[in-house]
Amino acid sequence: MEEESDSRKINNSFLRDHNYATEADIISTVEFNSTGELLATGDKGGRVVVFQREQESKNQPHRRGEYNVYSTFQSHEPEFDYLKSLEIEEKINKIRWLPQQNAAYFLLSTNDKTVKLWKISERDKRPEGYNLKDEDGRIRDPSTITSLRVPVLQPMDLMVEAMPRRVFSNAHTYHINSISVNSDYETFMSTDDLRINLWNLEITNRSFNIVDIKPANMEELTEVITAAEFHPHQCNTFVYSSSKGSIRLCDMRASALCDNHSKFFEEPEDPSNRSFFSEIISSISDVKFSHSGRYLMTRDYLTVKVWDLNMESKPLETYQVHDYLRSKLCSLYENDCIFDKFECVWNGSDSVIMTGSYNNFFRMFDRNTKRDVTLEASRENSKPRAILKPRKVCVGGKRRKDEISVDSLDFSKKILHTAWHPYENIIAVAATNNLYIFQDKVN
């Protein structure tokens, strides 16, 4: 699949030096809403930036619905837990959109400890002609009011405002790694290292614990929860993945506390590939249901796996993302890269899956044709609106002209977060502090 690139660097604060990236600008999550009209990013500084796709116009057919900044707001602030003397990072770990039910947009954003429901709405009219106050807001002296008038709505410049509508806090001892909205559109779950809590979107002072894997003696802890997601259609079903490479599917109808799983997905270890790092690289960093709800995709350090919900013994498909790193695991352990948590996404029809890698590379795998491609998100190596050139990593021996050798890979340039439009072939790729949006080639 060939791509036309429409890359842009998103600058959204007033003081900006183009030559270096501040750490607060590092994008930590990317998510399209259910129609694909909006794209939200969260960053390490606790900000959320929402982009909106502009209407396609006949006058400029080549600008096929580009994304422009729609709203920017500070979702989370750094906090200090006085009880434990701990600073709580404001970094946005995940954003999930709620399905649209009226003119306003709703999203959930979370940092390590608190989930917030934000309402993003437009205002293009304002009332004028109040009785008790002036146009600039000063209170009028009641004794001077001789007649009453009805305020009238007058048009004004479009204003997009974001307001926090709910704050779901004080329910997690450990760091929240996932949130997922249920298909019933009434509840959602938040997941930390050891527990999963179920919330009602309307109620903030109470949550139900549905999974708890904390051992009585913390010294016996050997496994933590790494991600969780609700089934896209069955509101009673969800999955959660672990640091040991297993996925558990749970049914909330079975019991209030879903410590016992309905299904357990784990691939037996390949003894020929066994090393000191086998466990670390088997830790699942992301789990995603397919849109159809029939399949499950998991990402561990070196592979992406597609599972059939009806087959627990082994995955249906395994795709090697960057197997050339297998011989370098010791150095990757030393420089902490082995702990990087890559995400993975499905396309709208569940036929292609995508995930990120190092050196600003990201990979796509076509499940039907079994073809795969490596692309690069970088301004230096691709001009706007130019077709992306497939990249190749040379594993050894002679390096061809356009190939890059494993030792030349830049491990500081990692693509952890990507998103795919729910219907079209538009993808969003976060490369450190830059957001790239790629669209399908127009013929």
Partner 1 sequence: MVAKGQKRKLLEGRGAWESQLQSVLDISMEKFHRDQALVEPSLLRSVLISNTLRQVQSEVRAQVESLSSVKMPTKPQTHSGLEPDFPSGSPSSTEHNAPVFSLNDENSNTEEDVMAWTSEEDFSLSSAISVILKDLDTVIDAGQGPPRAPLGSVENLTGDARHTQYPPSSSRTERASNVVPSVKSEAACLGCPQDVVLEKLLLDIDTSVFEPEVNLLQGFSVTADDLVKYLPSLSKSPSASSSSSSSSHGQATWEIQEIEHVMDILMRTYPQS
Instruction: Give the footprint of partner 1 on this chain (CB under 8 A).
Output: 84-87, 174-175, 193-194, 217-224, 226, 243, 276-277, 279-280, 283, 330, 333-334, 336, 339
Task: Compare residues 54 and 279 and give the one whose CB is closer to partner 1.
Answer: 279
CA distance linking residue 342 with residue 353, whole number of Å: 13
Side-chain-side CA neighbours of residue 246 (13 Å) = 15
Q: Shortest distance, CB of residue 218 to partner 1, whole angstroms? A: 5
Q: Shortest distance, CB of residue 407 to partner 1, whole angstroms? A: 19
Residue position matching structure tokens 């938040």: 190
Q: Shortest distance, CB of residue 211 to partner 1, whole angstroms? A: 15
* SS3 state of residue 242: strand
Tell me which amino acid residue 123 is: R
User: CB within 8 A of 182, min separation 6: which ones?
Assistant: 188, 189, 230, 235
Task: Compare residues 12 and 331 and give the one whose CB is closer to partner 1.
Answer: 331
Task: Compare residues 34 and 331 and give the one whose CB is closer to partner 1.
Answer: 331
Q: Shortest distance, CB of residue 395 to partner 1, whole angstroms? A: 20
Residue pair 363/418 in contact (Cβ under 8 Å)? The answer is no
CA distance linking residue 111 with residue 158, whole number of Å: 30
Task: Compare residues 237 and 283 and give the one whose CB is closer to partner 1.
Answer: 283
Task: Compare residues 221 and 386 and give the one whose CB is closer to partner 1.
Answer: 221
Task: Compare residues 330 and 395 and give the one whose CB is closer to partner 1.
Answer: 330
Residue pair 110/179 in contact (Cβ under 8 Å)? The answer is yes
Residue pair 305/241 in contact (Cβ under 8 Å)? The answer is no
Task: Compare residues 1 and 213 and give the one whose CB is closer to partner 1.
Answer: 213
CA distance linking residue 196 with residue 178, whole number of Å: 9
Task: Compare residues 130 and 339 and give the one whose CB is closer to partner 1.
Answer: 339
Residue pair 417/28 in contact (Cβ under 8 Å)? The answer is yes
Side-chain-side CA neighbours of residue 335 (13 Å) = 8
CA distance linking residue 153 with residue 150, whole number of Å: 10
Q: Shortest distance, CB of residue 381 to partner 1, whole angstroms? A: 33
Task: Compare residues 312 and 343 and give the one whose CB is closer to partner 1.
Answer: 343
Q: Shortest distance, CB of residue 239 to partner 1, whole angstroms? A: 18
Residue pair 184/101 in contact (Cβ under 8 Å)? The answer is no
Distances (CA, A) of 275 to 53, 174, 224, 270, 335: 47, 30, 21, 10, 18
Q: Shortest distance, CB of residue 416 to partner 1, whole angstroms? A: 15
Q: Shortest distance, CB of residue 247 to partner 1, whole angstroms? A: 16
Q: Shortest distance, CB of residue 280 to partner 1, whole angstroms? A: 5
Could you please report the per-residue DSSP string of 325-393? GGGGHHHHHHTTGGG----EEE-TTSSEEEEE-BTTEEEEEETTT--EEEEE--SSS--TTPBPPP--E
